[in-house]
């Protein structure tokens, strides 16, 4: 009854559900101690819950009243531990990619460690960046957990990957080039090419694009324009999803 809080002495604290977490540490972190006086209801129980949630080790945390004997209360801290990583696997891409993808995700995944949403998100983003560098700008990654029956409270992370089609470059336009035509400048961009009927390797790769920008300036230098520079660029997509570079 919030209008009539009562004061109790904590007679005992039991922790349940913690198979891999130190029970005494959880009691200490909660701030609740045997012999302490607490008011029920008050901020003391919610504050204990917040302290335990901040550990990010659990899917659920409860503090329950087991029983009362007079003005003595016995508490139970019940937790549901988050699963730990057993292993991971990739679906939707050829095995030839797996070694490279392992290098990407192993920066965030540690066998036996707690699986958090941040861990899954960071690993998925790393996979997307890997394929974007190869021109698959629309790569989608879905991460699911599958219980590992061979290990207690462990899961297998499954990365379902849809690379989708490579994004083609529809056009490359130059602004400010008064003496050298677009066609000649585009010819210096060997790694960043427009989509043409007979050209199948039109794709956007960030590393190649940077090299091609340098190649354009290098060509200007050979034409006597020693102070030539690119003062800005814009990359955008049309309704068909194709790239335009200005």
d(CA 243, CA 168): 6
Query: What is the DSSP-derived secondary structure letter of residue 192?
Result: S
The dihedral built from the CA positions of residue 146, 94, 162 and 120, taken in this order, carries a sign that is positive
d(CA 61, CA 77): 7
pLDDT at 200: 53
Residue with tokens 């790769």: 205
pLDDT at 38: 94
- At residue 113, φ and ψ (nearest 5 deg) are -90, 160
Torsion of Cα atoms, 54 then 57 then 63 then 67, to 10°: -150
pLDDT at 146: 94
Structural Rg of the chain based on CA atoms: 30
d(CA 186, CA 194): 9
| CA proximity to 208, closest of 236, 164, 161, 169 | 169
Which H or E run contains 174? none
Whether the Cβ atoms of residue 115 and residue 145 lie closer than 8 Å to each other = yes
pLDDT at 155: 94
**Which residues does 76 contact at the CB level (< 8 Å), separation at least 6?**
13, 14, 15, 16, 62, 63, 64, 65, 66
d(CA 76, CA 66): 6
Query: What is the DSSP-derived secondary structure letter of residue 97?
Result: G
Token pair of 203, please?
A: 């794709």
pLDDT along the chain (246 residues), means of 10: 89 93 94 94 94 92 95 96 93 95 96 90 96 90 94 92 90 94 93 71 84 96 95 92 92
């Amino acid at each position: 009854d919030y209008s009539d809080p009562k004061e109790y002495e904590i007679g005992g604290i039991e922790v349940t559900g913690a198979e891999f977490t130190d029970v005494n540490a959880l009691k200490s972190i909660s701030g609740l101690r045997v012999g302490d006086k607490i008011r029920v209801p008050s901020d003391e129980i919610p504050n204990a819950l917040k302290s335990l949630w901040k550990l990010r080790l659990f899917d659920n945390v409860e503090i329950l009243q087991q029983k009362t004997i007079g003005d003595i209360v016995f508490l139970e801290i019940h937790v549901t531990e988050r699963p730990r990583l057993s292993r991971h696997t990739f679906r939707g891409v050829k095995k030839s990619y797996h070694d490279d993808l392992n290098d990407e995700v192993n920066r965030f995944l540690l066998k036996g460690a707690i699986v958090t949403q941040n861990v899954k998100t960071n690993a998925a983003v790393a996979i997307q960046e890997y394929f974007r560098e190869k021109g698959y700008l629309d790569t989608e990654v879905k991460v699911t957990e599958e219980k590992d029956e061979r290990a207690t409270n462990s899961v297998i992370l499954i990365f379902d990957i849809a690379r989708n089609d490579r994004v083609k470059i529809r056009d490359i336009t130059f602004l400010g080039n008064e003496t050298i035509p677009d066609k000649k400048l585009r010819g210096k961009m060997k790694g960043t090419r427009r989509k043409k009927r007979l050209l199948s390797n039109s794709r956007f790769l960030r590393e190649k694009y940077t090299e091609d920008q340098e190649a354009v300036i290098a060509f200007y230098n050979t034409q006597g324009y020693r102070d030539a520079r690119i003062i800005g660029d814009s990359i955008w997509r049309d309704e068909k999803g194709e790239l335009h570079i200005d």
